[in-house]
Amino acid sequence: MENRSPRNEEKNYNVRMEEVLLIVVTVISIIMSVINITRLNNITEATEMEEIPEVSKVVVKTEDIVEAEVFKTELKSEEVTPKEVEISEEEEEDISYKEIDEIIEEISPDMDISEPSGISKSDFVTAMQQCEYDKNSVLADNAILIWENCNERQLNEFAIVGIIAIESGWADPEVSELTAEKNNIMSIRNDEGEYKTYYSYSECIEDAIRILDENYLEENGRYATGGNLQDISAVYAEDTNWANGVAECAEMSTRGLKQTETETISKE
């Protein structure tokens, strides 16, 4: 007769459970292996796909394009422009530049100062930089200011330089008390007849050019007598030799500018 004791049955049951667990573990291991292999394959395929760009279709709405163009326009409008504005080619066409020899020949006590000399900005700057009488570099430092204001208001640049030179000893504080104490390098007076005080030489130059234009050269100006140095001398200065001195200093300021160094060209 077969022995079926509870102890033996428990032993057999444990053996069967161990076999089942072994099978389950084996199946799980196989499944995990398959998953890992599949994942590796997917990663490899993805890497290969990244190396080959895929062409995709992008749908852009019309309103998106309009918004993008508006945004681009706004960005352009916010661009910062340079502080110093250079003369464009179109503007240069409107300026009749002359040769330096012709400009020098026109300098005289009878010269008409109611129009620019015809020198280019770069040549005028060079002339002031090479002016040996400008010991304190006042003319060189303000060359662009003088040229731009004179061309805007239609005054002769070298006449302004001559007035600065004769009135302040070439803007030398050791020569001119007005220069040293008031930065007044052109002997400008206010409506009460007192000499004006300026914060800088640049402010004085700009104000003097304005006064000469509005009060001396405009037809209805307060001191309008004519457009040449002799006419202005009658009301600007007490010295009867003033116009000769201005013309001489104006010519002296051109001596450092050689014909071969100029960039000007004659235009009709």
Q: Is residue 240 part of a domain?
A: yes
- Report whether 211 contacts 196 (CB < 8 A): no
Q: CA-to-CA distance for 116 and 111, rounded, in angstroms?
A: 11
- Report whether 253 contacts 139 (CB < 8 A): yes
Task: Give me the residue label for tokens 């100006």.
Answer: 221
CA distances for 182 relative to 188, 191, 194, 246, angstroms: 10, 17, 11, 21
Both tokens assigned to 221? 């100006």
Of 82-91, 131-140, 201-210, the range with the lowest mean pLDDT is 82-91
Q: Are residues 6 and 108 in the same domain?
A: no
Give the residue numbers spanning the domain of 26: 1-47
Average confidence score pLDDT of the chain: 77
Both tokens assigned to 151? 């061309």
Q: CA-to-CA distance for 162 and 158, rounded, in angstroms?
A: 6
Q: Is residue 74 part of a domain?
A: no
Q: Is residue 65 part of a domain?
A: no
The pLDDT tens digits for 108-127 are 999 999 999 999 999 999 99
The domain tally of the chain equals: 2
Q: Are residues 112 and 191 in the same domain?
A: yes
The pLDDT tens digits for 162-185 are 999 999 999 999 999 999 999 999
Q: What is the pTM of this model?
A: 0.63
Sequence-ordered list of residues with C-beta below 8 angstroms from that of 100, at least 6 positions apart, any chain? 119, 123, 254, 257, 259, 262, 264
